[in-house]
Structure 1
Amino acid sequence: MKRGKQLTEEDRILWHTVAVTTTPLKGKALPLESAPIKDAQLTESKVNSADRFAADLDRAPEVKRPTVTMTAPRQTIDRPTRDKIAKGRVVIDGKIDLHGLTQSEAHSMLLGFLHQAYAHDRRHVLVVTGKGASFGSEGILKRAVPAWFATPPFRVLVSGYHDAARHHGGTGALYVRLRRRTS
């Protein structure tokens, strides 16, 4: 609001209605009205709308955030295949590094990468998510990528995944086995 501009009577009524429904901060008093509101100035519609607004504030339910877990059912690659990949006897046909990407960027890049690998009949790929151990939390991509594998766009491509061997990134990377092409 520009300096020197005064509140209209309706704005003052609305402000007062809201102000009396709040709890002042510690050490602060409830602000007094700048000018008393005369009953004669209030029209029936203004009173009704102010009362409805105050009543809606009282009835407003507490908003609770839904609990969303990002864990997916663990689809594992069989142990002999994992061991062969780790020892280099089964070739890793491709690698994607998702470090430093946002979830939306990582999601689209990973989906595109897996589609391309699937189209070229690649069987095993390495997805580097990073450990994300900054600020005492487990990395968002480390948790999100396995959850994405459970969604329909990825489920048609991925037949299994497992944490990589230490020299391939350990828990910050995943071996991913792609489904075989049917055509």
Structure 2
Amino acid sequence: MRKPRHLSSEERALWDRVAERATPLHPTKQAPDRALSPKKAPADIPSEPLPSFRVGQKTPAARPHDVMRPLVDRLAAAPVNMDTKSFGKMKRGKLKPEARLDLHGMTLAEAHPELIAFILGSQAVGRRLVLVITGKGKDRDDGGPIPTRFGVLRHQVPQWMALPPLSQAILQVTPAHLKHGGHGAYYVYLRRSR
């Protein structure tokens, strides 16, 4: 960090002459005299005493890392874009999916192109309801400072479906009924191909 440079007496005299001749931009405002005003002391903020902590000790209370609502709640709150009667049948597992894609064991890099090809191909052949199985995922979060997502594909697949090119082909996404995989799978209701 550089040390502040102070003006010499000649530089100070030159500055004072320039300041006398300058016209203020806002003549009604008074410029604060910084040399005369004392700096305010920061307000004392009451703080709680920190608990004792040893290196290697686990944190006392694990808090969730997510600030967003759970995925199931977000999908449930999404507006119904399809026929309400068909939507109710789909959620109760009464509609049979015409095709299914199982993404178990795939990485994100492998699953994304498979999902795109499956959804767009299904729409091209005229399918309306398909099932995408992601699996529930393994509980890998060890409570460390960097959170590990529970079920990476389960969380990523709905986000991919909300983005182009899939968003133009999809009318509705909802978690599957228990007999079709429950929260480890999604019903995807497709738009009619044009």
SS at match of 2:96: coil
Equivalent residue number for residue 122 of structure 1 = 127
CA displacement at 1:167 relative to structure 2: 1.1
Cα separation, partners in 2 of 1:100 and 1:171, compared to 1, 3 Å: same
Task: List runs of 5+ in structure 2 lacking aligned partners.
Answer: 1-67, 142-148
RMSD value, Cα: 3.0
- 1:171 and 2:171 aligned: no
Residues of 2 paired with 1:112 and 1:181: CA distance?
15
Residues of 2 paired with 1:158 and 1:101: CA distance?
22
- 1:104 and 2:109 aligned: yes
Checking the alignment, whether the CA contact within 8 Å between 2:133 and 2:185 is kept in structure 1 is yes
Cα separation, partners in 2 of 1:108 and 1:90, compared to 1, 3 Å: same
Equivalent residue number for residue 149 of structure 1 = 161
Larger radius of gyration: 2
Cα separation, partners in 2 of 1:94 and 1:167, compared to 1, 3 Å: same
TM-score (norm 2): 0.52
Residues of 2 paired with 1:162 and 1:131: CA distance?
15
The share of aligned pairs that are identical, in percent, is: 38
Aligned residue pairs total: 116
Checking the alignment, whether the CA contact within 8 Å between 1:130 and 1:172 is kept in structure 2 is yes
Deviation above 6 Å: which 4+ runs of structure 1? none
Task: List runs of 5+ in structure 1 lacking aligned partners.
Answer: 1-68
Which AA in structure 1 matches 2:122? A
TM-score (norm 1): 0.55
- 1:113 and 2:136 aligned: no
**Higher helix fraction (1 or 2):** 1
Map 1:12-91 onto structure 2 (within 5 A). Answer: 74=75, 75=78, 76=80, 80-85=85-90, 89-91=94-96
Which AA in structure 1 matches 2:98? D
Checking the alignment, whether the CA contact within 8 Å between 1:98 and 1:127 is kept in structure 2 is yes
Q: 1:162 aligns with which of 174, 184, 189?
A: 174
Superposed CA offset, 1:103-144 (max 9, x none): 011000010011110110000000000000332452000000
